[in-house]
Amino acid sequence: MVEVKLKCIECGKEYDENESRYQCDCGGLLDVKSEGVEVSRKMFDSRKDCESGVWRYKELVHPSAEKIISKGEGGTGIYSNEKLDAYAGTKIIAKHEGENPTGSFKDRGMTVGITEALRKKAKVVACASTGNTSASLAAYAAFAGIKCVVFIPEGKIAYGKLSQALAYGARVFQVQGNFDDAMRLVQQAGKEMNMYVLNSVNPWRLEGQKTIVIELINQLGWRTPDWIAVPLGNAGNTSAFGKALVEMKELGLIERMPRIAAIQATGANPLYKTWKEKSRELLRVKEPETIATAIRIGNPVNWRKALRSINQTNGVIEQVTDQEIMDAKAVVDACGIGCEPASAASVAGTKKLVENGVIKRGERVACVLTGNLLKDPDATINYHSGKIEGVKGRFVNKLQTIEPTIEALEKALAKR
Ligand SMILES: Cc1ncc(COP(=O)(O)O)c(C=O)c1O
Ligand SMILES: [Zn+2]
């Protein structure tokens, strides 16, 4: 018999899995805790044709889910490329979460979140978002036929993502403030207006996101990489990855724990500072700023869970500049893999950690590319036309205009 509970990470108090709550009475975050789960490598291998790379691992995600809302999320590719290895200075495996239905890893959390919202008979779902969460929630809510409200920071969201949220029919509110203000508002709306909040503060979202690493390790024939590098914004993935790895070890699915390298942008680095200074309280960033708008967050809700993941996996937190992020992105893009700015933080961070000697040359690093290249075309075009303030285009592919003649073409090609 499998028993599922919600358990506070601070005081250990347990709640029924059907309770509609995201936090303990003491204010602590909740984990989904399943007892009595029995799984094996063979069992998951035999489901390789499962249409969802989330529900393939149902026992590890949501054992009691019945009416599942899925759009075929997960099943994303892993890529190796010599140019990428040369750039980072070690062996890279790029796990491309931009290949999900709405173009980011959020779909893995949202299939579980919306399934749970329906089980709880929620009338309205809501989220605060730097863009991708709103795109994903809007799609899954529309698909399931449930009302959706999203809050985004005014003017600081990539157009690809905003257009998705609008197109999928969500009520979209620009909040005068940053993501952290929007997050505060949605939590209040959740309590006072009975909206079911599907940010990563909701523990069910993280159960879905665990499958990024479960699927990755399954794809690698259950051999773990030495490191898993991931960008850190609201700290949902970092939290989910640690939980997944601990559970996989306990269940005998893996023998060795990979180390997590969580990467922040220097202008939005609260957890980097907190970890570096061994602070017991979060050292918030009041006005976070980075070109990687997806991780432009100064007060990550999951910070305590994320630090737990770092401790459990002997992991590290690193920070990278916008210059490093955009250069890494240009390299990932030019390899034919492609990603949005925040995603490239994983590669930029890996390169930095190799240079610092934290990651040894030759160690295998799985870099999670969290979002699709097409999410933020402005960032890409501005980089290649040298229009990003404070960022030099080191890997620029310049757009050229020519007269429609062979002579003009030959001249232009000779120049390059
Ligand atoms: C593309 C992308 N990368 C990274 C992140 C940050 O993920 P997390 O909040 O799980 O740290 C986000 C969150 O919005 C995102 O959209
Ligand atoms: Zn508690």
* Distance between Cα 358 and ligand 1 center (Å): 24
Q: How far is CA 174 from the centre of its chain?
A: 22
The predicted pLDDT at position 7 comes to 98
Nearest CA to ligand 1 atom 10: 236
**What type of residue is 143?**
F
In this structure, which topology does domain 78-103+205-384 adopt according to CATH? Answer: Rossmann fold (3.40.50)
| Nearest atom within ligand 1 for CA of residue 371 | 1
**85-124: b (≥16 Cβ within 10 Å) or e:** bebbbbbbbbbbbbbbbbbbbbbbbbbbbbbbbbbeebeb
CA 52 to chain centre: 18
Nearest CA to 321 out of 267, 272, 271 is that of 267
Work out the end-to-end distance of the chain between its first and last CA atoms, rounded to an integer number of angstroms: 66
Nearest ligand to the CA atom of 8:
2
Tokens of 97: 């979460």
Distance 228 CA to ligand 2 centre (A): 30
Ligand nearest the Cα of residue 106 is 1
CB atoms within 10 A of CB 347: 31
pLDDT at 416: 67
Distance between CA atoms of residues 27 and 19, nearest Å: 15
CA atoms of 191 and 196, how far apart (whole Å): 9
Measure the CA angle with vertex 389, ends 388 and 392; round to 5°.
70
Contact 84, 234 (CB under 8 A): no
Q: What residues are paired with 34 via a beta bridge?
A: 4
What pLDDT is attached to residue 35? 95
Q: Indicate if the alpha-carbon torsion angle 51, 252, 275, 207 is positive or negative.
A: positive
- Sheet hosting strand 78-79, strand order edge to edge: 78-79, 91-96, 364-369, 227-231, 259-265, 316-320
Per-residue pLDDT at 20: 87
- Strands 78-79 and 91-96, how do they pair? antiparallel
Count of C-beta atoms within a 10 Å radius of residue 267: 18
Q: How far is the CA of 232 from the centre of ligand 1 (A)?
A: 6
Q: Kindly state the helix (H) or strand (E) to which residue 344 belongs, with its residue range.
A: helix 341-355
Q: Record the tokens describing residue 136, joined without a space.
A: 């994903």
* Ligand 1 interacting residues, C-beta cut-off 6 A: 104, 130, 132-133, 200, 231-238, 294-295, 340, 342-343, 370-371
Which of ligand 1's atoms lies nearest the C-alpha of 133?
Answer: 14
Q: How far apart are CA 137 and CA 320, in angstroms?
A: 29
Q: For residue 315, how far is its CA from the centre of ligand 1 (angstroms)? A: 18
Distance, in Å, from the CA atom of 220 to the CA atom of 54, rounded to the nearest integer, reads: 17
Nearest to 296 by CA among 273, 270, 331: 270
The residue length of the chain stands at 416
Q: Average pLDDT over the chain, rounded to whole?
A: 97
Q: Facing residues of 173 across strands?
A: 151
Which pair of structure tokens corresponds to residue 155? 């003017």
The ranges of the chain with pLDDT < 70 are 416
Please name which of 321, 202, 179 lies closest in space to residue 263, comparing C-alpha atoms: 321
